[in-house]
Structure 1
């Protein structure tokens, strides 16, 4: 039996930063209507302009992911932590990539082609999604262009039954909206072992992030047999990150 390592850190503009702070912060203030207005006006993600029917969700196999070295994108980098808004200032918002994937299975949305091209932005210029060959992706059409929902993907693995599934998502199940989640993780018969590396974590943090209820820690790796299938993965995003970004489906 093979093992698959997942480099899938907890990161998003709306997650609980107490679990895994990813960005430097300069000051922290309570959320106010004015700040919400600023967030809407200057948000670098395109989700504030998205029409709900424009969301496309699919399982795809990477064909190419090329960086656009001519792109320069600056603005207000805004991060939401629970009920507070944190601003890290005016800076480069991300590096632009041109992505092309083979569509293996469409989960939601209007798209009929066998391949899909879209724009992807990464804050640090090293998109982690590129480390996985097969992923479940979330893209949205804005002004006729398809954009990846920033950082939103699930690494996908085949099960003994020939189905696609993703291991327990620490990021999503610990989102600020976690108390509204109705999806439950279930035991998945992955064909091969799947694990997260914990070598970068202090021992005191491992159990906090990788709950013993869902993970077995051995050899500085967090193994899990729990996860979700595509339909529940979509629900999980809709109840957490996409909800925070104002994206709803009928």
Structure 2
């Protein structure tokens, strides 16, 4: 009876004053400790990652911040400080995430969490021989992480994203709707095109699913004559092998297009990425002078990247 009263008083005190408590116990995945379970407070990290653009250092700092998360050791032992009204999420890849209120966990005499594996499904490859291609200028509505299917017979090292774009102008394939939803696979994190408001996108239909043609896009901007155009991108021309193609030309954009980088930027990379006279440069700031209209960019892609991927002969 005395212990119960003391525990009740203890819980009342921490709930009243919002003081953090230490939660410690054992957390294992279904391999019994072969992998280390991650314990996060209120799923904060994963919510943040869905909306943030992080470089690798920021990513590591976030995961090492014990205000957000800790990782169980080889024996599954963990210790974390949290508020009684917080929730702790226990997770690992291909394991079913479990969540518990801190106020419930601290009532336990011993805390031992054992995750269960997700059920996998067989991967059946799509054998689409002639996928339909859609090329369009799109305005971003949303690009967000998507949960990948867990296949028994296939491992993917790419992140998966769901994307939704408003179609501003069709360039090829004549997609019939005003908006388009498609999936994106990217090995390096959030897709590069998600940084821009308007882009030329290349989306193919495989076995009834719309999929972004990996890494293919061009950021575009309105010119004063009302057309869409992209600043000069030298790597597109490097793939042409002297084929006759529309050369870049001086363009007047509605708004000045500039790209600016920090003082630690690699000079050789900057000079190659923003060469003169195609850009006016000052330090590590580059103003676009030359470029190509959207239809000409598509013609370049037809003879290079899209040709190499089998869309055009």
| Alignment CA distance shift 1:168-1:69 (3 Å) | same
- Indicate conservation of the 8 Å contact 1:60/1:105, yes or no: yes
Q: 2:254 aligns with which of 185, 191, 194?
A: 191
Instruction: List runs of 5+ in structure 2 lacking aligned partners.
Output: 1-124
Aligned structure 1 segments of 4 or more residues deviating by more than 6 angstroms: 73-76
What TM-score, normalized to structure 1? 0.67
Whether the 8 Å contact between 1:94 and 1:123 is mirrored in structure 2 is: yes
Superposed, which structure 2 residues align to 1:1-250 within 5 Å? 49=128, 51=130, 54-71=132-149, 92-175=156-239, 177-180=240-243, 182-199=245-262, 201-248=265-312
Per-residue deviation, residues 104-142 of structure 1 (Å, max 9, x unmatched): 110110311111111111112221111111111110011
Q: Which runs of 5+ in 1 are unaligned?
A: 1-45, 77-90
Higher relative contact order (CA 8 A, sep 6+): 1
Q: Is the 8 A contact 2:146 2:160 kept in 1?
A: yes
Deviation, structure 1 residue 198: 4.7
Report the RMSD for the aligned CA atoms in angstroms.
Answer: 2.8
SS of equivalent residue, structure 2 residue 296: helix
Q: How many residues align?
A: 188
Greater strand percent: which structure?
Answer: 1
Deviation at 1:153, TM superposition (A): 0.9
Contact 1:65 1:99 in 2 (8 A): yes
Q: Which residue of 2 aligns with 1:15?
A: none
2:303–2:312 contact (8 Å) kept in structure 1: no
1:73 shift after superposition: 7.9
- 1:63-102: CA deviation from partner (whole Å, max 9, x where unpaired): 11121134458999xxxxxxxxxxxxxx743111111111
Residues 62-71 or 107-116, more deviating = 62-71
Question: For the pair shown, which has the larger CA radius of gyration, 1 or 2?
Answer: 2
